Amino acid sequence: MTIGIITSSDQFLSLAYTLANNNLQVCIYYAQGQDAYVNQKVQALAARFQLVCGQQQEDVYNWLEQVKPGIVFVYGYPFLLDVAKFSIPVFNIHAGALPAFRGPVPVFWQLKMGMPQLCLSIHVLSSRFDAGTVVWTKQIADQPHYTYALVHQIFSQLVVEGVYYILNAVLSGKSLDPVPAQGKGAYQKRPQAKDVQIDWSRMPAKEICNLIRACNPWNKGAAANMNNQQIKIMDGLVTGQTTTLPPGSVVNEGTQLWIAAADGQFVQVNMLLLEDMFIPAYQAAYYGIKKGLILQ
């Protein structure tokens, strides 16, 4: 049986290689995105597979007719597919708990909201985004070093387990039992500018660090205002040290940079972005990020 993968990202590569290394035939439909590096990476690393790069949304249905896969997995594909054109089992891989984290960037929202468990789901493709019956889930405990990119990398490896579970069921003719719903149904939109902005007057230290991780690397960190100029904080750590300084107050401790949060705790900042320049904390004072400054 030929296994089809429909995608628009490089997240499918671990899955495709694992399937192929187990002597399964894999064919891939890749909708090229705006990131030229990712496009080149996919074309280079997926050269061993039956790879078709599409330009128009209708191209995927031409690919489906030509390749005739026995089963399809959709992974990191941003467009709504017409389920009526699939006469075979087709499943969508979603990097979030369902139905609580429907939407295009569930990893961002899970990290930003400080969810203790991060969830990967596979559901039957339906006529609405992320609304089909969930047949497999995997949860991992969030860790302080997990970033948006790292979680996606981990999920790209864990998804192999779910795909094999589904393949074994389909090939043996067994039904796939629905997984109980996780949380109340909600559609989490694509982040806007306000969603990636640190609110020093309201956000405690842990919430700030969660936001920083959720923005790394796709937004190059969480945004903050310095004298009406935007800077981005790319790495932050809850120190456990308390202060009575106003939220947003900057303190230089030797080579370290600390910023007061709304709960009276300091966040240790290790790397910033200013005018597309990466600035380590020990050089921050040269750019005016020093004691006496209050970030807004």
- At residue 57, the pLDDT reads 81
Between CA 257 and CA 159 the distance in angstroms is 39
Q: What is the pTM of this model?
A: 0.95
- At residue 63, the pLDDT reads 95
For 93-102, write each residue's pLDDT tens digit. Answer: 999 999 999 9
Residues in contact with 164: Cβ distance below 8 Å, sequence separation at least 6, in sequence order = none
Paired residues of 3 in beta bridges: 26, 71
| Banded pLDDT at 254 (limits 50, 70, 90) | confident
Continuous segment of H or E residues that includes residue 155: helix 148-172
Sequence ranges of the domains in the chain:
2-172, 193-287
Query: For every residue of 4-51, which 3-state class applies, written as one string?
Result: EEEECCCCCHHHHHHHHHCCCEEEEEEECCCCHHHHHHHHHHCCCCEE
- At residue 156, the pLDDT reads 98
- At residue 166, the pLDDT reads 98
Helices (H) and strands (E) in the chain, counts: 6, 13
- At residue 48, the pLDDT reads 82
For 169-228, write each residue's pLDDT tens digit. Answer: 999 999 999 999 999 999 999 999 999 999 999 999 999 999 999 999 999 999 999 999
For 52-108, write each residue's pLDDT tens digit. Answer: 888 788 899 999 999 999 999 999 999 999 999 999 999 999 999 999 999 999 999
Paired residues of 25 in beta bridges: 2
CATH class of 193-287: alpha beta
For 94-147, write each residue's pLDDT tens digit. Answer: 999 999 999 999 999 999 999 999 999 999 999 999 999 999 999 999 999 999
- The superfamily in CATH containing domain 2-172 is Formyl transferase, N-terminal domain (3.40.50.170)
Q: Do domains 2-172 and 193-287 have the same CATH topology?
A: no
**Coil, helix or strand for 235?**
strand
Closest CA to 71 of 44, 90, 50: 90
- At residue 33, the pLDDT reads 87
